[in-house]
Amino acid sequence: MNMIEVKNLTKDFNGFAAVDNISFSVEEGGIFGFIGPNGAGKTTTIRMLATILDPTSGTAVVGGNCIVNEPHEVRKVLGYMPDYYGVYDGITVREYLDFFCHIYGMNSKTRLKTINDVMELTDLGKLEDKLVSTLSKGMKQRLCLAKTLLHDPKVLILDEPAAGLDPRARIEMRYLMKELKELGKTIFLSSHILTELEDICDSVGIIEKGRLVASGRISEIKAQLCGTVIYTIKTIEDSARAKSVIDAIQAVASCELQDDDGTVNVRMKDETCSINCVLKELIAADINVVEVKQVQSNLEDIFMQITKGEVA
């Protein structure tokens, strides 16, 4: 089951398409990473899914509810954490959470249990009497996430939850995302920290200039790219001659010389093409091969290969 279904979603501002006819889905219980440069349309998309902005055309379904026709129902199943956090001077962590529990209409008994549970989950219990204004940035991020969890939403939409955090706080936030997934939450998050997204995300969507350029599981996106299987082959000498031999092999998509002498990068056409045919031809040409390594493409490689650095 897909917890989020986006269909032809578009947002125009005075004729300018900030989001241009995008479609994708997020599986229930999965973590979906939304990636793109600044100005690509990530936050605009997120605000439409959170029912803060109305789309110009297209629609999306969140938790079985339409963002256009059933925004109030969407908000019941959705927890939205923006890329900035609102805090109030002069109140403590517990008072801050209690304020939002009041907004959700919880009685005193329910408020007490909910706040205690959320503080335990986000590791804020020791800070319950601290003034919100005195917290570190990482703790404020945790508090904002705790506030987002108060009504036990099925879907979490988090806009840059690790932005500006120090390395330890980012690692702790990553562990918290995994824990929320284990609790059955569906998580949609945007981030610029691609290495961390790859570690926790089941699937990703890459947006550029308002358009979705790729969407799906990372392994599937790799498979869709031409020549995703890459090897480095190091020869004792004469890498130019090695390149000439490799270029003539049908299973090879491309071959490039590296800056360092004796090494070539070989991109195979697909995963079914074996590097053995390349090694066989090199040996037949009396070219001495000393090392062969497969290069594993990561999320950063995919992002750089797919995008052009353009903004809307």
> 151 and 265: one domain?
no
> 158 and 216: one domain?
yes
Tell me the chain's radius of gyration from C-alpha atoms.
24
pLDDT at 157: 97
Domain with 273 in it = 226-295
The Cα–Cα gap between 126 and 124 comes to 6
DSSP bridge pairs for 204: 33, 216
> 183 and 216: one domain?
yes
Would 8 be classed as within a structural domain? yes
Token digits of residue 178 = 């995994």
**Do 61 and 71 meet the contact criterion of CB atoms below 8 Å apart?**
no
Choose among 83, 84, 63, 87: nearest CA to 75.
63
Would 95 be classed as within a structural domain? no
Choose among 126, 159, 129: nearest CA to 141.
159
Would 172 be classed as within a structural domain? yes
The Cα–Cα gap between 157 and 65 comes to 15
Any idea which residue has 């927890």 for tokens?
79
> 173 and 72: one domain?
yes
> 268 and 164: one domain?
no
The Cα–Cα gap between 249 and 284 comes to 13
Would 96 be classed as within a structural domain? no
pLDDT at 43: 92
- Give the number of domains in the chain: 2
pLDDT at 47: 96
Which residues are CB-neighbours of 2 under 8 A, at least 6 positions away?
25, 26, 27, 28
> 209 and 257: one domain?
no
What is the maximal distance between C-alpha atoms in the chain?
A: 82
The CATH number covering residue 245 comes to 3.30.70.100
Would 107 be classed as within a structural domain? no
Q: Tens digit of pLDDT per residue, the chain (312 long)?
A: 899 999 999 999 998 999 999 999 999 999 999 998 888 899 999 999 999 999 999 999 999 999 999 999 999 999 999 987 766 778 999 999 999 999 999 999 999 999 999 999 999 999 999 999 899 888 888 999 999 999 999 999 999 888 778 888 888 888 999 999 999 999 999 987 777 787 889 999 999 999 999 898 877 776 666 545 778 888 887 788 899 999 999 888 888 887 666 788 888 876 667 888 999 999 999 988 988 988 766 777 777 777 776 655
Which residues are CB-neighbours of 83 under 8 A, at least 6 positions away?
43, 159, 160, 163, 190
**Do 226 and 253 meet the contact criterion of CB atoms below 8 Å apart?**
yes
Token digits of residue 5 = 């279904």
> 37 and 179: one domain?
yes
> 231 and 212: one domain?
no
Any idea which residue has 């939403």 for tokens?
153
Domain boundary residue, one of 223, 248, 264: 223
* pTM for this predicted structure: 0.77
DSSP bridge pairs for 13: 16
Token digits of residue 176 = 């918290």
pLDDT at 191: 81
The Cα–Cα gap between 304 and 312 comes to 17
Strands (E), the chain: 2-13, 16-27, 31-35, 57-62, 65-66, 78-81, 155-159, 186-190, 203-208, 211-217, 229-235, 252-257, 263-268, 289-295
> 148 and 214: one domain?
yes
Q: What is the spatial order of strands in the sheet that 78-81 belongs to? A: 78-81, 155-159, 186-190, 31-35, 203-208, 211-217
Q: What is the spatial order of strands in the sheet that 65-66 belongs to? A: 16-27, 2-13, 57-62, 65-66
Would 307 be classed as within a structural domain? no
The Cα–Cα gap between 68 and 64 comes to 12
Domain boundary residue, one of 171, 194, 223: 223
**Do 214 and 206 meet the contact criterion of CB atoms below 8 Å apart?**
yes
The CATH number covering residue 158 comes to 3.40.50.300
Would 156 be classed as within a structural domain? yes
Helix H segments across 30-136? 42-49, 71-77, 93-103, 108-121
> 217 and 235: one domain?
no
**Do 48 and 67 meet the contact criterion of CB atoms below 8 Å apart?**
yes
pLDDT at 271: 64
Would 218 be classed as within a structural domain? yes
The Cα–Cα gap between 58 and 176 comes to 33
> 200 and 259: one domain?
no
